[in-house]
């Protein structure tokens, strides 16, 4: 038989968070090494477990969850999402404006597949959560990266966005709170993005999966709430705030002038029908998650685990010579910079591979997030303080002797 090659569609598709360095980490584990894996934002893997009532609710409903559901999702779950929209001031959301998916990931791919023709452009942040770039490219589109500026708390550079809009631009992706930078954008900045979308007929894709993970009293404005005359597709789910990433439950919400987007929304619905429905047991957990006590808040208050961990890793990184870091205001990551004058790194994937081999720590290199220069790393803030202290010590030791 001839060698079997992957499709050309995958030529520009890249998702390095689970790339070659992770394969090497698995090999080391098989050899018996303990690897501290700080590469994915998976709360349950760090004893940050889903609220008990969500798990119980899913178990209780398992007998009812044997059949397919409506392709858009269960009525009760979408009702609960509608209530969430009301709390966040989304403009007029109806039940059928919501589609539930197997995590946000599936819906992002569907949203891009339904929209993009070959050569269409999508504005995506740099750095980004790389699923977005991959989904655009998989769909035949071209991800055009706009700069988020480290000097300005990692906020999107509005002039850079403006300069990259062409006649082929179909939309703009905004990840807020941001992975990997931890930035949370002020309302005035979001308004400037909405204004650009308004002027150039762009759809806004608002990935707000971290909207409840906020530090230091930071507030989050839902993009949809200030964009009632612009088509906005907002994304959220159970993976982060509810620590249930393995359940695979996420949703998208269409808001704004939906009557102008009927054809696109029908396309999305068709893709939702083609996969019949998203996993039903997890859909049963959505209503319970969104209602009642939001235990995520306890982890973010003074003395809460997520806040302590964010503080620890941020201050320890800041003490390492040649390392600087913008303090994250939300999400589960820090994205430190390695000063190129102190650490002249040419290949940051090799850097994380060497770090893995020498110190048995797994991080992700900045270029995996479509950051153009090999001078950043992403570290998750989920491990316990003791583990983060050990990471900082080992990283400092490694960097002090690292030459490329
Ligand atoms: N969007 C962002 C910004 C993320 O960081 C992640 C996961 O890390 C996702 C989407 C994917 O979430 P889900 O587990 O719902 O597929």
pLDDT of residue 11: 86
104 lines ligand 1 (CB under 6 A): yes
On whether both 353 and 220 belong to a single domain, the answer is no
Model confidence pLDDT, tens digit, residues 200-210: 999 999 999 99
Please give the Cα distance from 175 to 223 (Å, whole number).
10
Range 353-368 average pLDDT: 96
Among 173, 209, 334, 380, which residue has the most ligand 1 atoms within 8 Å of its CB, making it the best to mutate? 209
Q: pLDDT digits over 362-384, tens only?
A: 999 999 999 999 999 999 999 99
CATH number for the domain harbouring residue 390: 3.90.1150.10
Domain end call among 290, 307, 329: 290
Q: Tell me the C-alpha distance between 380 and 332, whole Å.
A: 6
Domain stops at, among 235, 262, 290:
290
The answer, yes or no, to whether any atom of ligand 1 lies below 6 A from the CB of 129, is: yes
Whether 111 maps to a domain, the answer reads: yes
Task: Clarify whether residues 135 and 209 are in a common domain.
Answer: yes
**Which among 262, 290, 318 is the end of a domain?**
290
Closest by CA to 351, choosing from 334, 373, 374, is 374
Q: Is residue 2 part of a domain?
A: no
Asked whether residue 307 falls in the same domain as residue 181, the answer is no
Structural domain harbouring 104 = 52-290
* 228, 282 contact by CB (below 8 A): no
Distance 74 CA to ligand 1 centre (A): 21
Residues 156 and 263 in one domain: yes
Same-domain check for residues 248 and 318: no
Query: What does the pLDDT average to over 327-339?
Result: 98
Ligand 1 pocket check: which of 179, 236, 238 to mutate, most ligand atoms within 8 Å of Cβ? 179
Same domain, 154 and 111: yes
pLDDT at site 225: 98
Q: Are residues 199 and 236 in the same domain?
A: yes
Phi (first) and psi of residue 195, to 5 degrees = -60, -40
Q: Is 314 in the pocket of ligand 1 (CB under 6 A)?
A: no
CA separation for the pair 285, 289 (Å, rounded)? 6
Residue 245: pLDDT band with limits 50, 70, 90: very high
For residues 324 and 356, state if they share a domain. yes
């Amino acid at each position: 038989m001839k060698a079997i090659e992957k499709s050309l569609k995958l030529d520009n598709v890249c998702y390095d968070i689970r790339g070659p360095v992770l394969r090497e980490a698995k090999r080391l584990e098989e050899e018996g090494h303990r690897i501290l894996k700080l590469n994915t934002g998976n709360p349950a893997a760090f004893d940050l477990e889903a609220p008990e009532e969500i798990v119980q609710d899913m178990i209780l409903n398992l007998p009812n969850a044997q059949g397919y559901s409506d392709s858009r999702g269960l009525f009760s779950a979408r009702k609960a999402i509608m209530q969430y929209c009301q709390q966040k001031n989304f403009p007029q959301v109806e039940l059928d404006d919501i589609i539930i998916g197997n995590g946000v990931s599936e819906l992002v791919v569907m949203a891009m597949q339904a929209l993009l023709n070959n050569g269409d452009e999508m504005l995506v942040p740099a750095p980004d959560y790389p699923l977005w770039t991959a989904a655009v490219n998989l769909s035949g589109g071209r991800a055009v990266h706009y700069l988020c500026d480290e000097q300005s708390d990692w906020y999107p550079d509005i002039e850079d966005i403006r300069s990259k809009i062409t006649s082929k631009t179909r939309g703009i992706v905004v990840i807020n709170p941001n992975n990997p930078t931890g930035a949370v954008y002020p309302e005035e900045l979001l308004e400037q993005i909405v204004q650009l979308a308004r002027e150039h007929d762009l759809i806004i894709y608002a990935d707000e999966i971290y909207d409840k993970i906020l530090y230091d009293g930071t507030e989050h404005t839902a993009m949809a709430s200030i964009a009632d005359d612009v088509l906005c597709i907002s994304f959220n789910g159970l993976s982060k705030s509810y620590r249930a990433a393995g359940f695979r439950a996420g949703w998208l919400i269409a808001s704004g002038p939906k009557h102008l987007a009927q054809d696109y929304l029908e396309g999305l619905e068709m893709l939702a029908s083609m996969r019949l429905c998203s996993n039903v047991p997890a859909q049963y957990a959505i209503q319970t998650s969104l209602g009642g006590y939001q235990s995520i808040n306890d982890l973010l208050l003074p003395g809460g685990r997520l806040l302590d961990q964010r503080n620890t890793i941020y201050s320890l990184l800041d003490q390492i010579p040649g390392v600087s870091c913008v303090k994250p205001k939300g999400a589960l990551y820090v994205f430190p910079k390695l000063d190129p004058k102190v650490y002249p790194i040419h290949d940051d994937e090799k850097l994380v591979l060497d770090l893995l081999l020498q110190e048995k720590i797994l991080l992700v290199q900045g270029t995996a997030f479509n950051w153009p220069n090999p001078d950043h790393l992403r570290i998750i803030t989920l491990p316990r303080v003791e583990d983060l202290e050990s990471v900082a010590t080992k990283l400092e030791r490694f960097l002090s002797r690292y030459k490329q």
